[in-house]
């Protein structure tokens, strides 16, 4: 049985983020073939191409963390009908300098939660557009737009609604199968 290491980004920088709760739930529900590891984005400075010749240590470590995983899971809120600035900043760091795009050929999944009825549908669409440009193979089904309600996910990542728990478990199973398929066709370049 092959195990895949999946790095995940939490798009919100807020400590009490409901998307951080969702990430905890996804880690709990991931199949045993997925080793989940958070890749933090909080400490990255604002990206500028002035850094391209000599990335600061935090950005070098960030790019190395992405290189060390088999796939990426983006867990993002929606801010003003798009992705948060911190997440976009992280993507900019990872995709630069030109010719050193950390997302190229790296399978990815996108999910998020919001109190709104359509979850994070618009932010996810924007994120998919960015990741498509970054040449990251995207899991397009199952799409997951989770409406968050108080108590849906406990602090330890336990999902209290059985149908939501089952849906999220199936999402993680599909992510496993997707990563497996992509890496069969596009093996990692080490």
Position 152 in a domain = yes
Tokens 């600061």 belong to which residue? 56
Strand order in the sheet with 145-147: 34-38, 4-10, 71-75, 108-114, 145-147
Q: Is the dihedral of CA 176, 178, 183, 188 positive or negative?
A: negative
Could you give the CA distance from residue 153 to residue 159 in angstroms, rounded to a whole number? 5
Total-model pTM: 0.96
List CB contacts of 67: < 8 A, sequence separation 6 or more. Answer: 102
Position 79 in a domain = yes
Of 84, 94, 109, the C-alpha closest to 13 is 84
How many structural domains comprise the chain? 1
Tell me which residue range forms the domain holding 153: 4-185
pLDDT in tens, 49-89: 999 999 999 999 999 999 999 999 999 999 999 999 999 99
Contact between residue 44 and residue 76 where contact means Cβ atoms under 8 Å apart: no
pLDDT band at 188 (very low <50, low <70, confident <90, very high): confident
Position 190 in a domain = no
What would the mean pLDDT of 29-47 be, rounded to a whole number? 98
pLDDT value of position 190: 64
What would the mean pLDDT of 18-26 be, rounded to a whole number? 98
pLDDT value of position 141: 85
List CB contacts of 45: < 8 A, sequence separation 6 or more. Answer: 56, 58, 59
pLDDT value of position 1: 81
What would the mean pLDDT of 3-31 be, rounded to a whole number? 97
85-95 vs 121-133: helix crossing angle, rounded to 10: 10
N- to C-terminal Cα separation, the chain: 21
pLDDT band at 45 (very low <50, low <70, confident <90, very high): very high
Looking up residue 178, the CATH number of its domain turns out to be: 3.40.50.360
pLDDT band at 42 (very low <50, low <70, confident <90, very high): very high
DSSP state of 79: B
pLDDT band at 187 (very low <50, low <70, confident <90, very high): confident
pLDDT in tens, 89-147: 999 999 999 999 999 999 999 999 999 999 999 999 999 999 999 999 999 988 999 99
162-185 vs 18-29: helix crossing angle, rounded to 10: 70
């Amino acid at each position: 049985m092959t195990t895949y290491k999946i790095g995940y980004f939490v798009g919100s920088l807020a400590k009490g983020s409901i998307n951080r709760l969702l990430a905890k739930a996804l880690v709990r529900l991931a199949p045993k073939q997925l080793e989940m590891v958070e890749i933090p984005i909080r400490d990255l400075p604002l990206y500028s191409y002035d850094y391209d010749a000599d990335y600061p240590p935090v950005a070098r470590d960030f790019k190395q963390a992405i290189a060390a995983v088999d796939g990426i899971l983006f867990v993002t809120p929606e801010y003003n009908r798009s992705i948060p600035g911190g997440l976009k900043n992280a993507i900019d760091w990872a995709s630069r300098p030109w010719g050193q795009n950390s997302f190229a050929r790296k399978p990815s999944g996108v999910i998020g939660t919001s109190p709104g009825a359509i979850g994070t549908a618009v932010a996810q669409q924007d994120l998919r557009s960015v990741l498509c440009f970054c040449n990251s193979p995207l899991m397009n089904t199952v799409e997951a737009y989770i409406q968050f309600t108080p108590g849906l996910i406990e602090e330890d990542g336990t999902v209290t609604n059985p149908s939501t728990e089952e849906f999220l478990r199936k999402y993680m199973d599909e992510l496993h199968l997707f990563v497996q398929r992509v890496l069969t066709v596009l093996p990692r370049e080490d």
